[in-house]
Structure 1
Amino acid sequence: MMADVFEASWERSEVGVMEALRGWSVAFAELNQHMAEWMDLPTTDAQALGQVLWADSDGEPLSPGRLGQRIGMTSGSVAVLVNRLESAGLLERSREHADRRRVTLRPTEAAKQRARAFTETSVAEIGATLHETPAQDLAAVEAFLNRMVAAATTAAERLREGRP
């Protein structure tokens, strides 16, 4: 069990948090599998579309290169995937920058509607849990998760640069 590795130098509460995060990751991956089936897409395509949808809703649309980093694919594989999603009417490429060579990926309205329909009907339990959680608890969890994301991002950048 992975907890054995952590237990040597970690507090029990730290191990518990890591196990809970792993549990969330596994459950979220299964939800993504169901979303892929719902949208009649291969899992990788649905994961990519999910990344594009999230980025767009955050107001920070992705480039194909950044999408590849997020889903662990090469630029050539991402190009093929983006072509498939564009042909399916779920994704659009645009050139929104002064540098016209830069491509931005945006979900189509059809993709947004299909994803919204899935979310509204299939993950009601998550929404209910969020709605019943006190605001101060949500704020603490959000702050903690943002720190964890920053730490994981820093580690990934370091490893991408070939530093152990």
Structure 2
Amino acid sequence: MSNQQKGDLIATVMQAVAAFQDATDQIDETAATRLGLNRTDLRCLGILERAGAMTAGQLAESVGLSPGAITAAVDRLVRAGYAHRIRDVSDRRRVTIEPTPAAQTASEKIWGPLGVEAHRRLSRRTIEELTIIHDFLVEGYQMQTRHAQRITDLND
């Protein structure tokens, strides 16, 4: 493969990544609307669904929100019936947030079919291909989070 062909392929892959991000954004926007949530609340709910119960501080750190903003987000999730607060029996000041069965049902209804299809598609790949895909996604995640921090740190 020539350098020109490789450059063209890199450009094509970068365009495909951008299109994939746009499609993911569309799913998230549609899901948030369907659930009656804003996008930040949807991110919080997604983290709770994947990680399980955690303190508000842990959730705030995972999402990158201030203590006040996470309190408001959790309040909205509780009001919507997608999360509840659980007081620690040994330390009444400590509260964990966890998703409700209603959140799990809604999540399965929205993302379950997508997960099934993604699993079916990935099952057709070889171990070597899966390793490459995994490495690409991990590197992409690290790059995206690093640049999100860079953008946060920009001085105007």
What is the match of residue 71 of structure 2? Answer: 79
What is the match of residue 31 of structure 1? Answer: 27
> 1:151-162 maps to which residues of 2 (within 5 A)?
151-162=143-154
Query: Alignment identity in percent?
Result: 24
Post-superposition offset of 1:67: 4.5
Do residues 65 (structure 1) and 60 (structure 2) align? yes
What is the match of residue 42 of structure 1? Answer: 37
Number of positions where the alignment pairs a residue of Structure 1 with one of Structure 2 = 148
Structure number with greater Rg is 2
What is the match of residue 150 of structure 1? Answer: 142
Post-superposition offset of 1:83: 0.2
What is the match of residue 17 of structure 1? Answer: 13
Letter matched to residue 27 of structure 1: A
Runs of at least 5 residues in structure 2 that lack an aligned partner in the other structure: 1-5
Provide the C-alpha distance between the structure 2 equivalents of 1:61 and 1:142, rounded to a whole number of angstroms: 29
Asked if the contact 1:68/1:74 (under 8 Å) is kept, the reply is no
What is the match of residue 4 of structure 1? Answer: none
Provide the C-alpha distance between the structure 2 equivalents of 1:32 and 1:15, rounded to a whole number of angstroms: 26
Most deviating of 19-28 and 110-119:
110-119
What is the match of residue 3 of structure 1? Answer: none
Post-superposition offset of 1:101: 6.0
Letter matched to residue 107 of structure 1: P
Post-superposition offset of 1:75: 4.1
Post-superposition offset of 1:60: 7.7
Provide the C-alpha distance between the structure 2 equivalents of 1:16 and 1:161, rounded to a whole number of angstroms: 30
11 and 55 in structure 1: CA distance in 2 versus 1, 3 angstrom threshold: farther
In the TM superposition, what whole-angstrom CA distance separates every residue of 1:78-132 from its partner, at most 9, and x where no partner exists?
3222101112221133467x99766543212321222012223456543332232
Q: TM-score, normalised by structure 1?
A: 0.67
Post-superposition offset of 1:43: 3.6
Runs of 4+ more than 4 Å apart: 59-62, 98-104
Runs of at least 5 residues in structure 1 that lack an aligned partner in the other structure: 1-9
Provide the C-alpha distance between the structure 2 equivalents of 1:60 and 1:134, rounded to a whole number of angstroms: 36
